[in-house]
Amino acid sequence: MERLGDKLIIAAGCFVVAMGMGMDVPEIAALLYGVTFTCLYEYCRDRRLLYGGCLIYLSVMIFVPGFLLLLPLIFYDLAGSKAERKEIYGLLLFLPAVLAVLIIHVLTGRTDVSAALFVLFITGGACYLAVRTKRLLWLLEDYKEQRDSSRELELWLKEKNRSLMETQDYEVRLATLKERNRIAREIHDNVGHMLSRSILQTAALGLAVREDGVKEQLKSLSDTLNLAMDSIRESVHDLHDDSLNLENAIRGILKEYPGYQMHYDYEISSDMAREIKYCMLAVVKEALSNVVKHSSASAIRIVVQEFQNYYQLLFQDNGESVNQEIGARGMGLGNMKERVQALGGTLHIRREGGFRIFVSIPKN
């Protein structure tokens, strides 16, 4: 658009010179040739077209002085050529030839001196506009590249930052789960064993003591110890249940089946209730067991996803239809469905085109 604006200004100057020289057939032909040539070059931007048009122009100008009017447009395209070295060569080769023809026309009286000087002045201005516009377009293109690069870098940094934050959150979560497991194990191994020993000792003392008052006190102490034992056992189980990482648990199970090509996607961000964790883990275990027993599959796909109000599990293989009969070991597909329904969820099984289990369990 900038080059077209420059060419309109140059063409207007050429038209003014043509009006001063008197509009005749050569001048009109020169203007039509110039407009056609410069528009065609602007569309193609082919240097071969540019230099070919310049040679034609020079050949015609030798015999038709009116073609002097095209000089500013021709030199604008030469000076605005993208190949800087070739552009300089073109100017150095073309300029002396044009000046020689122009001097011959002036000396022979075929061209007015003032018109020739005015055309040369417009030509100088055209070369300046061409170089200035080329520089401006180069800066604009460089700015766009820098802007695109900055945008790509910004998006890359945002993605890296998001990935880093997710990794940090995962590491914190994993460290928390490991610490819970350690605490639960220590409570079970130390406090639990001491309470069990105290309960047994209290029971033994109750059998050895004959006084009723002491027996009542020992029974009360035994009840208190049993209550404490139940409370600790429940707390330990809660800690252990909360420490279950479903993603890693499923991944660990998949490692036990190296003969299959596994595709595993886990897309859960919130804390899942432990009942749902154990249910999904049981479904995956039973489904893998059934694939081994009843399917000829070579690839297995497992997807665990979280939606706004429910969790979803998809288990699918590429084998032939699974046998309707379920082995006695494991809970079986029937018990699997009952367990999902107990959590308010649904379980669908499809055997066409491979074995597929689709589980959906609400969050609340």
**What's the chain's average pLDDT?**
76
Please report the DSSP string for 304-337 in residue order. Answer: EEE-SSEEEEEEEE-SSPPPS---SSS-HHHHHH
- State residue 313's pLDDT score: 95
Residue % of the chain over a pLDDT of 70: 70
Question: What is the identity of the amino acid at 5?
Answer: G
* C-beta of residue 101 within 8 angstroms of C-beta of residue 107: no
Q: What pLDDT, on a 0 to 100 scale, did the predictor assign at position 123?
A: 78
Given this model, what pLDDT does residue 327 score? Answer: 41
253, 284 Cβ separation under 8 angstroms: yes
Window from 70-79, 291-300, 340-349 with minimum mean pLDDT: 70-79
pLDDT for position 140 = 84
Task: Indicate whether 166 pLDDT > 70.
Answer: no
Q: What gap in Å lies between CA 361 and CA 306, rounded to an integer?
A: 10
The pLDDT tens digits of the residues spanning 188-221 come to 777 778 888 888 888 888 777 777 777 788 788 8
The predicted model gives 123-137 an average pLDDT of 79
Residues in the chain: 364
Q: What pTM value is reported for the model?
A: 0.40
142, 144, 202 from 137: Cα distances, Å? 8, 11, 95
pLDDT at position 361: 94
pLDDT band at 173 (very low <50, low <70, confident <90, very high): low
Confidence of residue 329 (pLDDT cuts 50, 70, 90): very low
- Whole-angstrom distance, CA of residue 293 vs CA of residue 298: 13
3-state secondary structure 45-65: CCHHHHHHHHHHHHHHHHHCH
Comparing C-alpha atoms, which of 235, 241, 251, 246 is closest to residue 270?
Answer: 246
Please tell me the least confidently modeled range out of 26-40, 86-100, 322-336: 322-336
- What is the spatial distance between Cα 37 and Cα 60, in angstroms, rounded to a whole number? 14
Count Cβ atoms within 10 A of the Cβ of residue 271 and give its class: 0-12 exposed, 13-18 middle, 19 or more buried. Answer: exposed
Phi and psi at 209, nearest 5°, equal -85, 140
Q: What is the pLDDT of residue 16?
A: 67
Token representation of residue 125:
């201005």
* Average pLDDT of the segment spanning 106-131: 77
Write the CB contacts of 311 (distance below 8 Å, at least 6 apart in sequence). Answer: 268, 272, 276, 280, 304, 305, 360, 361, 362, 363
Q: Taking the CB of residue 287, how many other CB atoms lie within 10 A of it?
A: 26
Q: Please tell me which residue, 95 or 352, carries the higher pLDDT value.
A: 352
The DSSP annotation for 153-206 comes to HHHHHHHHHHHHHHHHHHHHHHHHHHHHHHHHHHIIIIIHHHHHHHHHHHHHHH
- Domains of the chain by residue range: 2-142, 168-242, 246-362
Of the chain, the percentage scoring pLDDT greater than 90 comes to 9
CB 94 within 8 A of CB 78: yes
pLDDT of the residue at 355? 85
CA 293 to chain centre: 41
Range of weakest confidence among 56-60, 90-94, 162-166, 283-287: 90-94
How far apart are the C-alpha atoms of 193 and 204, rounded to whole Å? Answer: 17
CATH 3.40.47.10 for domain 246-362: no
* Each residue's pLDDT tens digit, 230-278: 877 777 666 655 556 788 888 888 988 888 999 999 998 877 887 888 8
User: What is the mean predicted confidence (pLDDT) over 157-163?
Assistant: 79
Does 254 or 117 have the greater pLDDT score? Answer: 254
Q: What is the dihedral of CA 233, 236, 238, 244, to 10 degrees?
A: -140
Contact by Cβ (8 Å): 94, 58: yes
Instruction: Compute and round to an integer the Cα radius of gyration of the chain.
Output: 45
**In the predicted model, is pLDDT for residue 311 greater than 90?**
yes
What's the pLDDT at 22?
61
341: tokens are 């329904």
Query: Amino acid identity of 199?
Result: I
